[in-house]
A and B are shown apart, each in its own frame.
Chain A
Amino acid sequence: MVMGIKGKIRRISGPVVVAEKVSGLEMHELVMVGKDELIGEVVRVEGDSATVQVYEDTVGLKPGEKVLGSGMPLAVELGPGLLMGIFDGVQRPLEVIQRLTGDFIKRGIKTPALPREKEWHFVPKLKEGEVVSGGEIMGTVQETPIFEHRCLVPPDVKGKVVSVAKEGDYTVEDIICQVSSEKGMLELKMYHKWPVREPRPYMERLEPSEPLITGQRIIDTFFPVAKGGAVAIPGGFGTGKTITSHQLAAWSNAEVIVYIGCGERGNEMTEVLLTFPEWKDPKSGRPLMERTVLIANTSNMPVSAREASVYTGITIAEYFRDMGYNVAIMADSTSRWAEALREISGRLEEMPAEEGYPSYLSSRLGEFYERAGRVKTMGGGVGSVTLIGAVSPPGGDFSEPVTVHTKRFVRCFWALDSALASMRHYPAINWLTSYSEYIDYVESWWNRLTSNRWRSQRLKAMEILKREDELKEVIRLVGSEALPEQEKLVLETARLLREGFLQQNAYDPIDTYSSPEKQFVLLDAILNFHDAASAAISKGVPASKIVDMPQLTDLAKLRMAIENERIDEIKKFSEALSAEVKKLTEVKF
C-alpha cells in the first residue's frame, strides 16, 4: 500500500463519505477524515474517488475537508493488555476515552489499544541462533494471575533469531527479539498488528472432540456444543438471549472469553463490567474478568463501528487460539451487525435483496462463522475458537433473513421461545425446536464420565418431553382426567424434567452452575423415579397416588438445594424415593 495519500471530501451522507482525488487508496484501507481526523475505512473505490464508512459521528464535516490514507487496513493490536479491557468497536479502550473526554464519548479520539507505559514481566522462550517462523512463542507474560500470555512471532515472519531480551520488565513498545529474515532485520515487540477482516493463518483444521462445558443443563446435556463449534441463539426480545450469553461467558470452561456487545444496551455492558469482577471462576476461584476481553459498541454508538466490532472481536479470539488456548466468543447480537451492514449498504445505494439487506449478507455471515474452529496452530499447539452468535429476529420470527442464513453456517441451534419466557421458564430454550449436530463428537467424553449411559438417558428424557407435547394436544380435546394411567405419569415426569432439570436459575448461587456430574445425577434421579413409578402403575397403583407424593416437590427443587460437591445426596434421595414408590404397590387401592 502507498503511504499518505491525501484527498478531499466530496459528499457526506450520514456515516458515508465520498472522497475525491485519492487514487491509490485500497479497499479496506484505514483513512482519517476531516479536520478532526475521524477514523474511517474504504468500502468502495471508483476511478480517483473512494467511498469511506466513518466510525464516528459525521456532524459538521464539510465538503473540501481533507481525507488522509494511512497505508494500512483496519487492524487490531494483539499483545499483553487485552484481558480485563473494555474496547469500542475499533479497539479504542473505553477507560482511556473516559479519562480523555469524560462520561460522554466525543469524536476524533486517538489512543492506542494496548497500554504503552505498563511494564510486563517477560520470560523468553527463544534462544539466539534458532530458526523461527510465524506463530511460534517468543516468550511468556503472566498477564493476569490466571492467564499466561504467550507472545507470538507475527504470522508473516520467518528467519533466524539474532537477539532475545533477557527475562525482565518491558513495555509493549520495547524490542524483545531481533530476527534476520529475507526481508532484512526484523525487530519484534510483544505485540503485533493484524488486519481484522483477514482470518489469522493456522496449520490445519481439526475435528471437534470435546464439549464446551457451560454448566447450563439444557445446553450441556441436551444440545451440547463442541470446542471449536459454532452456535446460534435466536430469540425475540425478552426471551433471555443476553442472560444466556452472560451465563456462557461466566461459566464456560474456555480459557479465554471474548464478549462482543454489538449494538446492544449500555446498561448490559455495565452489568458485565460490574458482575464479572465479582464472579469467581469455579476452577481457580479468581474473578472471571481476568480471562475476559469486552468489546462494547452499544446501540447509540456509531453504526459503522458496530459493523467492525464483530471482526475486532473474532480477530482477538483467533490470536488467543494461536497461543494454544480454547477461546469462546459471544457476539450479542449478530442481527445488529447485519442491520449495520444494511444501513451502510443503503447509504451506498446498493441494490437490496431480502428485507433491504444487501445480497452479500449470507456470504458475510458464512465468512464470519467459518472463523470458528479447532485448529493445529502455526506454533504447533492446538487451540479452538467456539463462536456463539445471538440473533434477534424481528418479531421473534425465525424465517427472517439473518436467522435463515445463520442456520446454514452453524451446527447447533438454541431456539429461545417467548411462550416459555412468559411463563418465566428460563433458560427459555425450546427443547423441541433446538438441535445440536455435535452429539456424536462429544458422546465419548460424556460416556467416560457416566459409564456409557449418557446418550441413552438423554434420549429417554427427550422422548418423554416429546410425548408430553403430543399429549397436550389430546388434553386440549378431552381433558387430562381421561388419559390412561401411564400417560398421566408421562405428564408428571415431563413436568419434573421441565421444572427440576431444564429450568435453571441464573441468580441462584447453587443453581447457576451445574457441574456435568450433577447434571447427569439429576437427570438419572428423575428418570429413575419414572421407571419405579411406571412399574408401580402397571401393578395397579393409581397415577394420582404417585403424582401426589410430597417428595416430588423436593425432587423438583434438588437443583437449587444441593451443591455440585454433594451430589451423593441426590443419589440417596433418588434411592429413597424409588423405595417409597415401590411401597405403594403393597397398599390395596
Chain B
Amino acid sequence: MAIQMEFRGVTKISGPLVFVEGISDVGYNELVEIRTSDGDMRRGRVLEVSKGIAVVEVFEGTTGLSTTDTSIKFLGKPLMLPVSDDMLGRVFNGTGEPIDGGPTPFTEDYRDVNGLPMNPFSRDYPNEFIQTGISAIDGMDTLVRGQKLPLFSGSGLPHNLIATQVARQATIPGEETSFAVVFVAMGIKHDEASFFKRSFEESGALKNSSLFLNLADDPPVERLLTPRCALTLAEYLAFERDIHVLVILTDMTNYAEALRETSAAREEVPSRKGYPGYMYSDFASIYERAGRIKGKKGSITQMPVLTMPNDDITHPIPDLTGYITEGQIVIDSDLHRRGIYPPINILPSLSRLMKDGIGKGKTREDHGPVASQLYSAYARSQDLRQLSAIIGEEGLTDKDRAYLRFGDAFEQRFLSQRFDENRDLETTLSLAWEMLSLLPESELTRISDRFVKQYYRPK
C-alpha cells in the first residue's frame, strides 16, 4: 500500500465530507492529505470507496475548500502515530502532533491508531487493588488495575477535581512500579485543560504524563481520533515498556456529540436520539483497549469522564458506556449542593471487578461484607429519610432513627474528605466500622459474626 496518489479537484463538498472522483487503487479507511489553494494542509480519511469514487472525511473541517483548487493525496495507509518513551512529559494535539514547542518524538516505530482487538484468550484478569485514597471509591467501589471505571457526572460538578485526585494519589500499597498517566481531552474548555495541566505540573506528575488535547473549538472530526491516538501510545507504554498506565478520557459526551455530528453528515440512519447505531461498537473500540495481558508487566486502567445530559443516566451516552465499562462512579448534584466533597452517590455506583481486587491477602478479609452492609444500610437510610419527610421522625421506630443517624454520619464523615486528603485503606475501613457501630448489632446480617466481634464497637 505504499503507492501515494495525488488528485486535483473534488466533485462535491458536504459538511466535513469531500467526494473525489476518478480515483483508483484507494483503500478503505486510508489517510488522505488535502491541500487548499493557499497551501494550507489538512488531513482526512476514506470513509467509503467504490469504483472511481471515494468519500473523504476531513479532520480539520472543510471551511475554505473549493471544488477546483483542492488537491488530494491518498497516502495508502491508515493514520499512524509515532510512539516512544520520549512522549511522556509532552503535550500533543488531538492527532498526536506536539504543541508544546518541543521536537517531534524521534522514533521509527509507527502504529495504526485504530489498534487491533485484544484476544480474549490473551487477557489476564484484573485483580490488583489500586488505592485512590478516596474512601467512597476504595471502600465501596474499588478500582482494580486494568479496569475501565468511568465517572458519570453532570455539568457544574467537580468531576475534574476527582479525576485529578485519583491521578495524583493512585498507588498500589507496598509496590514500587513505573506509573504513567495518559490524559485525553476531548472538546473540553481551555480553562479546564489548563486546570489539568497546572495540577499535573504542581504535583510533579507531568514528567510521567502525556497530554492529548482536543479542545472545544478544535474540529469535531479530529476528536474522533484523539482517544485512539492516546490509547495507541498507552498500549505501547503498557505492553512494550512495562509501564502501568492510567488513561483519563474527558469528556466522552463531547466525543459522542462529534460522532453524532459526523454520522448525520454522512446521512446515516440514526438510532436513539440521533446517535448512530454503531455507537456501542465505537465506544467499545475505545473502552476495550483497557486491560492486562498474560505475561506482560504493564497494564492500562481507564477512567473515562462523561457528563450525563440533563443528569439522565438512561441517556444513550452513559447507558452504552455502562454496558461496556466495568462499573461506574456516579457524581450526584444533590450531595454537591449540600457541600459534600467528593459528592459520590454510592447507590447507583458500582465496580464490577471489586470482588476480585479485595479481601484476604489483597485488602482486608472483612472488606467485601462491610461494603455490602454499608450499601444496604445507606439505601435503607435514604428510604427512611424520604419517609420521615412525610410522616416526621416521631412516626419512626428506634431502629429507623438509628438508620437516619447512620445515613447522616456516612455522608458527613465517610464520604466527605478534602481534595488533598489521601486516606489509606485501614483508615477507610475503620471509619466504615465506626459508621456501622451506629446500628444495632442485629442489623449486621451481611457480616459474619467473627468480624462483628472483632470490629463492632457501639458507643
Contacts and interface: CB of A to CB of B under 8 A. Distances in A.
Given A481-B397, A550-B442, A265 B324 contact: yes
Nearest to A297: B120
B375 interface: yes
Given A300-B284, A342-B271, A12 B125 contact: no
Nearest to B23: A63
B172 interface: no
Contacts of A104: 115-119, 122
Contact of A265 (B117, B288, B348, B379): B288
Contacts of A481: 395-397
B78 A86 contact: no
B328 A60 contact: no
Contacts, number: 222
Contact of A238 (B288, B315, B322, B376): B322
A10 B117 contact: no
B117 A300 contact: yes
Contact of B117 (A105, A553, A560): A105
Interface residues of B, number: 85
Nearest to A340: B281
Interface of A: 10-14, 18, 57-64, 86, 94-95, 97-98, 101-106, 236-238, 261, 263, 265-267, 269-271, 273-274, 296, 298-303, 336, 339, 342-343, 346, 349, 352, 355-356, 392, 394-397, 418, 421-425, 475-482, 499, 507, 550, 552-553, 556-557, 560
Nearest to B293: A103
B78 A12 contact: no
Given A104-B119, A270-B120, A553 B442 contact: yes
A342 B275 CA distance: 13
Given A103-B118, A104-B119, A303-B281, A346 B268 contact: yes
A63 B278 CA distance: 24
A265 B149 CA distance: 13
B344 to A, nearest CB: 13
Contacts of B120: 86, 94, 261, 266, 269-270, 273, 296, 298
A267 B123 contact: yes
A95 B348 contact: no
B458 interface: no
B114 interface: yes
Nearest to A17: B28
A333 B176 CA distance: 40
Interface string B271-303: 110000110110011011101011010000000
Interface string B33-52: 00000000000000111111
A266 B291 contact: yes
A476 B117 CA distance: 51
Contact of B280 (A62, A97, A298, A339): A339
Interface in B78-137: 78, 112, 114-126
B269 A59 contact: no
Interface in B375-389: 375-376, 379-380, 387
Contacts of B268: 346
A424 B126 CA distance: 22
A126 B26 CA distance: 58
A346 B326 contact: no
Nearest to A350: B269
Given A62-B25, A104-B122, 16 more contacts: A59-B78, A60-B1, A63-B26, A63-B49, A103-B239, A238-B327, A238-B350, A267-B123, A299-B324, A300-B285, A352-B269, A394-B316, A418-B348, A424-B372, A478-B391, A552-B442
B7 interface: no
B263 to A, nearest CB: 10
